[in-house]
A and B are shown apart, each in its own frame.
Chain A
Amino acid sequence: MLGNTHISWSTNLARLIFVVLILIVAIGPLISLVIDTASWAWRSSATDFDNIASWSRQFYLLLKSAGFAIAVTIADVLIAVFAASRFWTWNTRVSWTVAALLFSMIAIPPYIHILAWRFAIDWLNAQLGTVGLPELVFSGWGAAWWVQTMALAPVSTGLALLGLYSVDSRLFDVGRLVRPDIDAFRLIVLPLAAPPLLAASGFVFLFTIVDYSVPSAFLLNTYALEIFAEFSANHSTARAFLTSSPLLVLTLIVLALTLKFLRQVPVRPHLRKRSRQCTPFWPRWFARLQGLAVAILVIQIVVPIFSLGVLTNNWTAIEDAILSASDEIMATARTAALASVIGIPIAFFAASRMGRVRTYWWFLVLLPIGLPAPLVGIGIISLWNNDWTYAVYDSELILVLTYLARFLAVATLVMYAQLRRTDSLLLDAARIVRPSGTAYWTQIYIPLMMRSGLVAMILTFVLALGELPASLLTLPPGSSTITIRVYNYMHYGASEMVASLCLLIPLLTIAYSTILFLLAYGWRQLLPKLPRRVE
């Protein structure tokens, strides 16, 4: 009885700590913005609200932006499904390596993708010109759609791969015996892999709709640019926040739909290693589409690397870039890694609560995804730039908090998708046989959540590496990040320095992923050994 009271008290304390952390880290900037906006609205006269909304123009812009984001999402999900289904049949280690490679490309800033694709198309056109063929036209919505799709394809494919791996392969095996492999894949595997796929589509849609950089580079206007225009005109956080409210509403709708479907997908746990399969017999059309999707992903990796490689030109440039930006490289790696490490338990807690408590919880935790990044930065400044927390604000820790504010929601979504697959009975059973808190966590819970935890950590790390608009605002003077350094020098076109630093970004991700996988492997080795068997 005493023990129960004791555990209950400490559990409640742990919950309280996590709730406070989530309130401060993830939702704090949003709350701060809401308070600022309310206070501004209270003080303002009617004329202060002039020109915030011009309904027909803004509605059309929003519609255009949503259409663009939907087109990118559809393309990315299709690439993800076809490519991941091909990787899925490969050796597990090979496909995890592919996934890590794909994830490593996420942090390459959108501008670099634009630069790389323009460079590649120019090169291709020059080749076409030499043989008398007409040049490719690379402009307008088509080009923007392609570049944005390419920039986000690694995320959707990586998450799709996670989804496919989370399906018990025996369920596919049983289906294969009675129906062609494609039917078993379509009707059994895909619906069961839906949670991470849904998380991927939500992620791609939201990241596309809040980003203006790619459409803007192709002379196209989107709603995200509207917010920047407002912010740039009046420098009023409140007005910019009000202008961004339609995006937040859209975010809410997308999140609501995503979570509704996530909750509808019936799942069951599976702890077994994937059974060894013979390669499925795909119909020719499906195999061709798989090949096309894999080819697109290869191109997605090759084009930026090739373009950057050509622009970098020599190893000395890379050495120089490393030497001159060593502080930035270290600071970015340190803060991004710390954000990913701190973020995981918070994301896990947030995700576990999303399954139990009312809707307002997921609404609060996930809404920051739809908040324009500069406003997140402003919110963080409002929250932390005071006498009490100045030491944190004036240190690198503020970058960690910035990354968490921006990407904790993404990590939470990934963890939630995995939690939907974890049987609560299994965890309860573990609690009964092993009441020790430490053993319960180290031997049951962490290994169960390891795979999605690693994915969420790598995703947070890589997104943090590429973060610009919020960290630009919160960065302590005298320090910088690798991405900010890239943008500092971007003004001079694709200099050797920019290209070299951009090449370093995927390398940092690969190094971090390798460290995480080694740690995860080490963790598994420390667990009590069970006899391994092959039946």
Chain B
Amino acid sequence: MITLMNVSKSFGEKKILDAISLTINTGARIALTGVSGCGKTTLLRLIAGLDVPDEGEIKLSGELANFGTEIRIPPHRRKVGLVFQSSALWPHMNVEQNILFGLGGTPKTRRIETLDAILARTGTTHLAKRMPDTLSGGEQRRVAIARTLAPEPEILLMDEPLTNLDLAAREEMAALIRGITESSVMTLVYVTHEVEEAASFCDEQYILKGGKLAPTSVPRRRKST
């Protein structure tokens, strides 16, 4: 469960998030929409612990993760996975190494098993030894998801994962994300510009506007985006 209480964040004079309160139950899938620059990514970064709020509290599974600017749980202990708009693959590691990075403390046999499973699940087994710069945009996105899922996060944050993909790749990715989210109990926070895309993955939808968060109605779920 993710709980935000009166979370505010400003950049300079501009207040991006204004006393936002929100509770996301375990296993819930929510979408955040809003125009460019409204603070969607900032909210994800606050949940992930990559940035700190100016005020307010963030709780993860009931445990206080942030109290104002003080971080109580560092990012790597939050069991949060984040898929960026760009894949942000580490260019000096091959696909396999990118995925294994998050399995640092796991015993070797378990790591190999997890790697094989995750590669199979994301359809990237054939890419295991390839370097990121040799992959297509869609392949990079798949690997990024594989890398995020490998450490088995409890919360999955996705920041416009379908942006800048061609139609075929979008459909493939959408199917992959849907498969992952529907077959697990991960909490999903999905950021997008597009209301319909949000509806295809999520049960609840919020719009961020003027620093405030407001629920919106969820259109009928569609099979593809």
Contact = CB atoms under 8 A, between A and B. Distances in A.
Indicate whether A and B are direct neighbours in the complex (CB within 8 Å): yes
A278 B82 contact: no
B100 to A, nearest CB: 10
Interface string A192-208: 10000000000000000
B91 A177 contact: no
Contact of A191 (B39, B42, B92): B92
B82 A177 contact: yes
B174 interface: no
B88 A168 contact: yes
Contact of B50 (A173, A265, A267, A532): A173
Interface stretch (B71-79, B165-173, B180-188, B213-221): B71-79
Interface residues of A, number: 31
Chain A at the B interface: mostly helix, strand, loop or mixed? Answer: loop
A275 B50 contact: yes
Contacts of B151: 178
A534 interface: yes
Contacts of A171: 88, 90-91
B161 interface: no
A274 interface: no
B36 to A, nearest CB: 5
Interface residues of B, number: 41
B75 A177 contact: yes
B39 to A, nearest CB: 7
Contacts of A268: 91, 132-133
Contacts of A267: 91
Nearest to B35: A533
A265 B92 contact: yes
A174 B84 contact: yes
A276 B51 contact: yes
Contacts of A534: 11, 14, 16, 37, 39, 42
Most buried by A among B50, B52, B75: B75
Contact of B11 (A176, A183, A276): A276
Interface in A139-182: 168, 170-171, 173-181
A413 B92 CA distance: 21
A266 interface: yes
B133 A278 contact: no
A277 interface: yes
B80 interface: yes
Interface in B81-101: 81-82, 84, 86, 88, 90-92, 101
A174 B82 contact: yes
18 contacts: A176-B75, A177-B75, A178-B76, A178-B101, A180-B74, A181-B74, A183-B104, A268-B132, A275-B50, A275-B51, A278-B52, A281-B74, A531-B37, A534-B16, A534-B42, A535-B37, A535-B39, A535-B40
